[in-house]
Chains A and B, each alone.
Chain A
Amino acid sequence: MMNPLPTRLADGPMAVATHGLTKRFGRLTALDALDLQVPEGAVYLLIGPNGAGKSTTLRVLLDLVRADAGSASVFGLDVGTDGPRIRANVGYVPEHHDWGYAWMRAGQLLRHHAEYFPAWDEAYALRLAALFEVDLARKVGELSKGQSRRVHLVMALAHRPPLLLLDEPIDGLDPIMRDETLGVLADHLSDSPTTVLISTHHVDEIDSLVDHVGAMRAGELRAQLSLADLHAGLRRYRAGVPDGWRGVPTLNGAVLRRTEGPREVQWTVWGREPEITDQLTRAGATVRDVAPVTLHEATLALLNPKADQV
């Protein structure tokens, strides 16, 4: 049996750590004994289908939602008892767009927000607002989805918090603004030591910033690993197979995706390359190509609900 997908990172200082975190909404289990680990300084991408529990996780970390079981800590502070102190050190961009007061003008909302965060950098806030082309005079309630998203980004970044919790931060932004946001994040990371936990479906655009990945399904992590480990351990194998090919049972569980053609098969497999090539060859396949996968393809593989057989 090949290595199952890794779900625990190496020990080290963690910006975020949850143990057995469980949350139910009525009969729906949103989080199921979640063990999330986000190392300090990491840019951690949380991926998963809608309803996987990603947004709920972020809200539990902020003590906006109270878990039913398990624990969560941010920078060593317990989420249940030190909520305010944690929130003072987090920049949060929420998934839904009603954040702030609809009747306030954007500039007023920023000033209001600034009063709650003693570490607020006014000059930086203005620079960000200009970069994001925020109309400070417009009422928040009249902003489009993309415009309010940009205001939320300013609110989250301007006090240079040690932790950024970003829930679909570039959703609703046009391509130019999405690109601009990535540049702002790269710049922000260069300035202040920041840990970023970002949940987004726009994997392709964010992958150059990311160094850790967590794949979440039905409230738990199917895989949690560094990007380096992911690139090293996940490969796409393309091989010619003879007629009547029946597969390699020993690889079951390690194969995440499989595409078939006449006498040729393509698998995305987790494991060490020489061993897998060896197993495939011994089972009668002619391995023609072994290639690393892009983060987007890795996402699809890690989240594939069907445990494919080779």
Chain B
Amino acid sequence: MTTITLHDTPEWTAVLRQQLRAVGGSMRTAALILLGLAVVCWVATGLATVQETAWAVPPPGFAFDPAMTFPVFLLGMFAAASVWQREEPSRRGYHLGMPMSAAPHTAIRALAGWAWCMVAVAGYWITLWTVGGTIVLIGKGSFQANLTTWLFLEPFAAATMTYLLASIVMIATEHPGAWIVSVPVGLTILFQLPAMYHARAAVELSRRILDSPFSPVVPIWAVYRTVSADNRQWVIHWDRGVAGTAIWTTIGLIGVWLAAHRQSHTTK
């Protein structure tokens, strides 16, 4: 052993703090774009409502439909892509060169990205409600929320799952773009095949998978709804959403950890 006093490694709290700052900084452009989109959306809806109010009976109102949370999964994907942009495994030398074990360090960075992703989802929620509120304010129609606990949490859950799954791809692969395009396309084809070939048993199986908590639709949209018997109302099956979220989140967390472990050294 040496007689030299060796320096210490940093505390993980300091690293997390710094990663939040760094990841947030790297997402700033994306955040500004999203903010811009939100403003455009708000203004456009406001203008459209003004027009519509002139000649619509009944007056335009806002009724919350679970389908409105569908696009949130994109936030998860783009957040993951943003955290690891231009840092494919072959270009991750600086990150791996820091005085912290690769797996925890990568996990902390993923955690920081997730925190900002949740901020984006909250932003989405706020946008949705302000847009709805604007419509009601201008149109003087009715405001229907019908928001259960699960429906409120669902966008955060969906974004989390997509973020984790996309992170696995971003952390582990050299060409994540190829994966992010081919996996959804591949799955879609896979689940369409039975119907195309009129394979009844396979159709039955694929339908069962799609309706179960293991459905690949869950990470995208953890809201399962059917129409009520009288065709009037949406019936939300929150149990599939919650169970599915638990399953897919676990898969995502394990996957991220394994990917972080695997990518602990540079390739050159």
Contact = CB atoms under 8 A, between A and B. Distances in A.
Please determine if A and B sit in direct contact within the complex, based on CB atoms under 8 angstroms apart: yes
Interface of A: 13, 15, 25, 40, 59, 62-66, 75-76, 83-85, 87-89, 92, 94, 96, 98-104, 108, 112, 115-119, 159, 161-162, 193
B8 interface: yes
Given A15-B2, A94-B93, A98-B94, 8 more contacts: A25-B268, A40-B2, A64-B265, A75-B6, A84-B99, A115-B17, A117-B7, A162-B4
B15 A115 contact: yes
Given A63-B265, A64-B93, A76-B1, A104 B6 contact: no
Where chain A touches its partner, the secondary structure class is loop
Instruction: Return the 8 tightest CB-CB contacts between A and B, nearest first.
Output: A88-B99, A87-B99, A115-B18, A75-B2, A119-B7, A76-B1, A88-B9, A84-B99
A96 B22 CA distance: 22
Contact of B97 (A25, A62, A115): A62
B47 interface: no
Contacts of B101: 83-84
Interface residues of B, number: 30
A115 B26 contact: no
Of the candidates B8, B94, B98, the one having the most CB atoms from chain A within 10 angstroms of its own CB is B94
Interface of B: 1-4, 6-10, 14-15, 17-18, 21-22, 25-26, 86, 91, 93-94, 96-101, 265-266, 268
Contacts of B99: 84-85, 87-88, 116-117
A112 B265 CA distance: 21
Nearest to A30: B268
B115 to A, nearest CB: 17
Contacts of B18: 112, 115-116
Contacts of B97: 62, 64, 87, 92, 94, 99
Where chain B touches its partner, the secondary structure class is loop
A104 B2 CA distance: 37
A40 B3 CA distance: 10
Contacts of A104: 22, 25
Contacts of B15: 115-116
A40 B50 CA distance: 77
Contact of B91 (A25, A83, A98, A115): A98
Contact of A102 (B1, B7, B86): B86
Contacts of A159: 7
A87 B93 contact: no
Nearest to A100: B94
27 contacts: A13-B2, A13-B3, A15-B2, A64-B97, A65-B268, A66-B265, A84-B9, A85-B6, A87-B9, A87-B98, A88-B9, A88-B99, A89-B6, A89-B7, A98-B91, A99-B93, A101-B22, A101-B94, A103-B26, A108-B25, A112-B21, A115-B10, A116-B18, A116-B98, A117-B99, A162-B6, A162-B7
A80 to B, nearest CB: 11
Contacts of B91: 98
A87 B105 CA distance: 13
A115 B100 CA distance: 12
B39 to A, nearest CB: 24
B9 A85 contact: yes
A64 B89 CA distance: 12
Nearest to A15: B2
Given A84-B101, A89-B7, A112 B22 contact: yes
Contacts of A66: 265
Nearest to B21: A112
Contacts of B8: 88, 118-119
A88 B6 contact: yes
Contacts of A25: 268
Contacts of A108: 25
A103 B7 CA distance: 29
A40 B26 contact: no
A103 B25 contact: yes
A108 B114 CA distance: 22
B248 to A, nearest CB: 31
A101 B1 CA distance: 35
A243 to B, nearest CB: 54
B238 to A, nearest CB: 41
B7 A118 contact: yes
A117 B100 CA distance: 10
Contacts of B93: 64, 94, 96, 98-99
Contacts of A118: 7-8, 10
Contacts of A98: 91, 93-94
